[in-house]
Amino acid sequence: MFDLQWTDEAIKAYKNIEKQSNKISSKKQKKKSSKQEGLFKQINKTLKHLKTNPRHPGLKTHPYSSLEHPWDDKQKVFEAYVQNKTPAAYRIFWCYGPNKKQITIIAITAHP
């Protein structure tokens, strides 16, 4: 099991999506989830998989070279799928560390 750490950018994105999801959730009366609610659920599911097994097949985790590692240029940054086959599908960018058994969430964003 890994402990999740967050960059300021990542926590800001997460809280923003959570806020939008809660805002829609409190106003609606239908049973089907909105896109924002669905996205928030998918992000939480992805984070759960990252905590327990960063190599979970559903994450399709792979190295991503367009982002810099927050504290060690020699280490890799990874991309994990939140969504797939969706326009502007969301991804979580992360890295191991700074300590053992820790993962740092760098960003949560639509695929660039």
For range 97-101, the mean pLDDT: 93
**Are the C-beta atoms of residues 54 and 46 closer than 8 Å to each other?**
no
Q: Does the pLDDT at position 88 exceed 60?
A: yes
Q: Does the pLDDT at position 21 exceed 80?
A: yes
Res. 72 pLDDT band, cuts 50 70 90:
confident
Q: Does the pLDDT at position 34 exceed 80?
A: no
pTM value is 0.89
Domain ranges of the chain: 1-21+37-88
Res. 25 pLDDT band, cuts 50 70 90:
low
